[in-house]
Amino acid sequence: MTNRGRGTGGASSSSAPRVEDPRVDGVLKALKQIGELLNRRAHKRAATTASQAEERVATAAQAAQAAAAVVHAAPGFNEKGDPELAPRRIAKMEKCFRVIGCTETEKVTPATYRLQDLTHDWWMATSSIVFPEGVGRMWATFAQVFNNKYFSVAARERKMREFRDLRQGNMTIEQYEIEFTGLAKYAPRMVENPEDNAMRFRDGLQPELRSRLIALNPNTYE
């Protein structure tokens, strides 16, 4: 009797219905939602990272192509011929660099790539002195050293005299302005003051135009 009673009681206990706790269900549901959210964010980050990587690759490719174009377009340079080729070459390179957006340190390599003959030999012997180990290869430094070497003092003085003696003559006002601007860069101290610059421009004009400007009394060349 005792055993049967215990057996009956055990069977009755195991067949009792499971009671669900709403709190547990809520926690499980919240965990599932968090997991789905994290999964979506992971996919989004992966897609963004892939897109950014593709953009970086494309940008690098464009920069490489632009740099190659600069190197190809840059004229070769040696120490023979017109000494004014040195500053003109620097000016042409700077124009290209502005278009493609080179940094100051990125400009030196394409500029030196096209040096030829004795000029190339000079740079091979000089580069480690101009840019010692650990020193950044800055464009302004290279341009200064290059011009000091290949744009002689005599050539600079000649260009300064040309600027000082410049007159409009038979040139149109536009031609005179172009000539004035081109020579002014060889005489920076003469034009550093805007009023002095305006006076120099005015004094080189034809007498009739000069008289008109004197009456207007402009304070700047522009």
Neighbouring CB atoms inside 10 A of 33's CB total: 10
Residue 190 contacts residue 164 (beta carbons within 8 Å):
yes
* pLDDT given at position 1: 47
Residue whose C-alpha is closest to residue 110's, from 132, 82, 77: 77
- Residue 78 has a pLDDT of 57
45 has pLDDT over 70? yes
Tens digit of each residue's pLDDT (9 = 90 or more) over 162-209: 999 999 999 999 999 999 998 888 888 888 888 888 888 888 998 888
Segment 15-36, tens digit of pLDDT: 555 555 666 666 667 777 777 8
| Tens-digit pLDDT profile for residues 51-65 | 776 776 666 556 555
pLDDT reported for residue 41: 82
> What Rg value do the Cα atoms of the chain yield, rounded?
38
Contact present, 173 and 210 (Cβ < 8 Å): no
pLDDT: which is higher, 137 or 58:
137
pTM above 0.75, yes or no: no
Contact 145, 126 (CB under 8 A): yes
In the block, tokens 């011929």 appear at 81
Closest CA to 109 of 64, 156, 144: 64
Joined together, the tokens standing for residue 202 give 């005015």
